[in-house]
Chain A
Amino acid sequence: MSTIQIVLIAVCFVMVTFIFSMIRKRKLREEYSLLWIVGSIVMAVFVLWRDLLEILAEHLGIFYAPNVLLLIGLFFGVLMFLHLTVVVSKQADENKNLVQKIALLQNMIEELEKTCSSESS
């Protein structure tokens, strides 16, 4: 195993451990961690099986093999962005529902206060 492989495997390992520790500390939720873990594992696979890049490049008709890395990296980045915008949209919707509920409840409390004070007087 070459030095670069050992270094990269270590990086993958640290990355996965870091993600898991964040989940354990509840800084990252399980549902959002999956993409990161999958990303780390894919990276580890490429490190351990060095010919995979050449094989993929040949099948995809890419002349210069490292370009496959660029493609995968870009794809992963776009996927992550898409995932994040989906999460943000969901949160915006939930946020909207909360704001509306607060407005309705506040009004309900005011109405109750009015009836209470008119009954007591």
Chain B
Amino acid sequence: MVRIAAIIPAYNEEANIHRVIRDIRSQDIDIKVVVVNDCSTDSTESIVRREGETVLNLTNNLGIGGAVQTGMRFARDEGYDIALQVDGDGQHPASEIKALIEPIRNGNVDVVIGSRFLGKGDFQSSFARRIGIRIISLVNSILVGQRISDNTSGFRAFNRRAIEFLSEHYPQDYPEPVAVVELFRNGFRIAEVPVRMLEREGGESSISSISSIYYMVKVLTASLVAFTRKPVVRKDKRRS
């Protein structure tokens, strides 16, 4: 029996979080829901408790990287085989989870990224943002030697080995794109699957379109630095 945990980082998501939880519960696979409450100032915590799900409360705001890592540590300590990362804003439909964990269940890969840009559904975003996403994708794809179309996607699945790695080494500043590079550098096999994503239903995205270019420059720098970092996983321990 494969044990699966869905890690949901949440900062002030009272408008969406109950829908995200119920959506995951409505699937016919058994998934443990873990909401990481990143020091929300609204009623996110009490909503999760009312739904009867596990909530991990961070006493300080750590940002998305620190929040997801907390979930990874939970999954590691509690012995989960697969960890899902799902946004707390309702962008990621739970119906796509099956497709996301399929490659891991088959044992082909360690990490699966749900991509908006592989043909399933159409995703609208601003011009500056699309260009930024394109350039990050180009640079990261060159760095890891395989096409990664959606580096900023927060809809991902990880196997046990990746959970253990990320528990110790999760990038904090621009976690999604940098994690792609760091996972590759440490010998993890990454795959992308096409997924449908929804527009945000409430609240605000963490990246506004005005600051996308600034964001892009920072991400590219962080990716390049991550690439020059020495792998932490020893070669002989890989792919065991």
- B-binding residues in A (CB < 8 A): 95-96, 99-100, 102-104, 106-107
Contact = CB atoms under 8 A, between A and B. Distances in A.
27 contacts: A95-B60, A96-B62, A96-B66, A96-B172, A99-B58, A99-B59, A99-B60, A99-B62, A99-B66, A100-B58, A100-B62, A100-B66, A100-B69, A100-B70, A102-B58, A102-B59, A103-B56, A103-B58, A103-B70, A104-B56, A104-B70, A104-B73, A104-B74, A106-B57, A107-B55, A107-B56, A107-B74
B83 to A, nearest CB: 14
Interface string B86-102: 00000000000000000
B77 interface: yes
Given A96-B66, A96-B172, A103 B77 contact: no
A68 B54 CA distance: 62
B36 interface: yes
Q: Is the interface of B mostly helix, strand, loop or mixed?
A: mixed
Nearest to A106: B57
Interface of B: 36, 54-60, 62, 66, 69-70, 73-74, 77, 172
A107 B58 contact: no
Nearest to B63: A96
Given A96-B62, A96-B66, A103 B172 contact: no
Contacts of A96: 62, 66, 172
A7 B115 CA distance: 69
Contacts of B73: 100, 104
A99 B70 CA distance: 9
Given A96-B66, A96-B172, A103 B36 contact: yes
Contacts of A106: 56-57
Given A99-B70, A104-B73, 10 more contacts: A96-B172, A99-B58, A99-B60, A99-B62, A102-B58, A102-B59, A103-B36, A103-B57, A107-B54, A107-B55
A84 B5 CA distance: 39
A25 B59 CA distance: 31
Contacts of B57: 103, 106
